[in-house]
Amino acid sequence: MSTLTAPTRIVPASERRLKNTTSIAQTLQNTFTMAYRGLVKIRRTPEQLIDVTVQPIIFTLMFTYIFGGAIAGDVASYLPIIIPGILVQTVITTSVVTGVQLREDMDKGVFDRFRSLPIARIAPLSGALLADTLRYAIATTLTFVMGFVMGFRPEGGLSAVIGAGLLVIACSWAVSWIFAFFGVIARSAGSVQGISFLILFPLTFLSNAFVPADTMPDWLQWFVNINPVSHLVTAVRELVNNGVVGSDAMIALIGAAVIVAVFAPLTVRAYMRKA
């Protein structure tokens, strides 16, 4: 006696995409769940925070005591210059981790397992980007605390310090979209890190983060003056030292918005092709 078996129906790609669509509320819920997953990873492997805990301390001590006397005459006079520079340099460098960990999760098959779950397909990506804002907040707090221990007293007051910290975190979150894009398209986590630092080192060190631009050669000053990192550093200095929101803050925010407008769609499109 033979048994009739219904033929297997091949579901068109358009229908699969329709079934995978989720509401905005569910997408947000899944994003926060994935962000919580990132925080749990940090709690279980706290060594992931070495870069945002040790680096601000080492860089602040090293740059302040090496360059303080030569550039500003003494350490106390150099702190209002170096603390904003160290803050921007540390937090932006931390954004590289977003792309590296994203690539590692994809290489380990973690995202393949996520595809089998009834969640928004974009949630693992958006959750990772959201969770990394905690890293930026930690680096920001430790940099200001280290500066305070060394004698830095922001003239702008506590509200200016908080505003400067939020500005740096927002801009670093925007920059993390660039490295998230590399994390999706690159072949390995090592290549993501290599490409990212190849971009960051010229931007952070060829800026006014550590020394005033007018002390540099004329042929280098033009790049320093148009460098977006220089605008962000100047904006932070104006905020914490004078309590002033100047044009550089607006330029930094506009630049961050442009980065998100360009790289967020590119990253999401590349990620959705692989998800």
Find the mean pLDDT for residues 47-71. Answer: 80
Mean pLDDT of the chain: 83
In this structure, what are the phi and psi dihedrals at residue 104, rounded to the nearest 5 degrees?
-65, -40
Find the mean pLDDT for residues 216-238. Answer: 91
- Pick the range with the lowest mean pLDDT from 124-128, 143-147, 157-161, 239-243: 124-128
Q: Is the residue at 9 inside a domain?
A: no
In the predicted model, is pLDDT for residue 8 greater than 50? no
Q: Is the residue at 11 inside a domain?
A: no
Amino acid identity, residue 70?
A
In the predicted model, is pLDDT for residue 239 greater than 90? yes
Question: What stretches of 150-188 show up as alpha helix (H) in DSSP?
Answer: 158-185
Q: State pTM to two decimals.
A: 0.83
Q: Is the residue at 213 inside a domain?
A: yes
Q: Which helix (H) or strand (E) holds 155?
A: none
Interatomic CA distance for residues 60 and 232, integer angstroms: 18
Q: Which residues contact 83 (CB under 8 A, 6 or more apart)?
A: 60, 143, 144, 147, 152, 240
Q: Is the residue at 141 inside a domain?
A: yes
Q: Is the residue at 154 inside a domain?
A: yes
| Percent of all residues in the chain with a pLDDT value above 70, rounded to a whole number | 89
C-alpha distances out from residue 130 to 39, 114, 134, 146, Å: 10, 17, 8, 26
Q: Angle 228-242/247-274 helices, nearest 10 degrees?
A: 130
Find the mean pLDDT for residues 56-81. Answer: 83
- Pick the range with the lowest mean pLDDT from 84-88, 119-123, 170-174, 262-266: 119-123
Amino acid identity, residue 242?
N
Between 233 and 34, the more confident residue is: 233
Of 256, 230, 83, whose CA–CA distance to 169 is shortest? 256
pLDDT tens digits for 94-118?
A: 888 888 888 887 888 777 777 777 7
**CB-CB contact of 120 with 26 (8 Å):** yes
Q: Is the residue at 14 inside a domain?
A: no
Q: Is the residue at 235 inside a domain?
A: yes
Burial class (CB in 10 A: 0-12, 13-18, 19+), 247: exposed
Of 109, 112, 236, whose CA–CA distance to 169 is shortest? 236
**Beta strand ranges found along 119-182 (DSSP E):** none
Q: Is the residue at 63 inside a domain?
A: yes
- Pick the range with the lowest mean pLDDT from 78-87, 98-107, 204-213, 262-271: 98-107
Domain span including residue 161: 25-274
- Give the single-character DSSP code of 174: H
Q: What is the pLDDT of residue 1?
A: 47
In this structure, what are the phi and psi dihedrals at residue 73, rounded to the nearest 5 degrees?
100, -35
Of 88, 270, 261, 259, whose CA–CA distance to 174 is shortest? 259
Q: What is the pLDDT of residue 59?
A: 84
Number of domains in the chain: 1
C-alpha distances out from residue 246 to 115, 159, 165, 187, 252, Å: 46, 16, 15, 41, 10
- Rounded to the nearest 5 percent, the helix, strand and coil shares of the chain are 80, 0, 20
Q: What is the pLDDT of residue 22?
A: 65
Interatomic CA distance for residues 181 and 244, integer angstroms: 34
Residue 229 sits at the vertex; the CA angle it makes with 145 and 255, to the nearest 5 degrees, is 115
Between 41 and 179, the more confident residue is: 179
- Pick the range with the lowest mean pLDDT from 113-117, 230-234, 262-266: 113-117
Q: What is the pLDDT of residue 21?
A: 58
C-alpha distances out from residue 256 to 31, 58, 132, 173, Å: 22, 28, 17, 8
Find the mean pLDDT for residues 55-61. Answer: 84
| Percent of all residues in the chain with a pLDDT value above 90, rounded to a whole number | 25
Of 174, 179, 144, whose CA–CA distance to 252 is shortest? 174
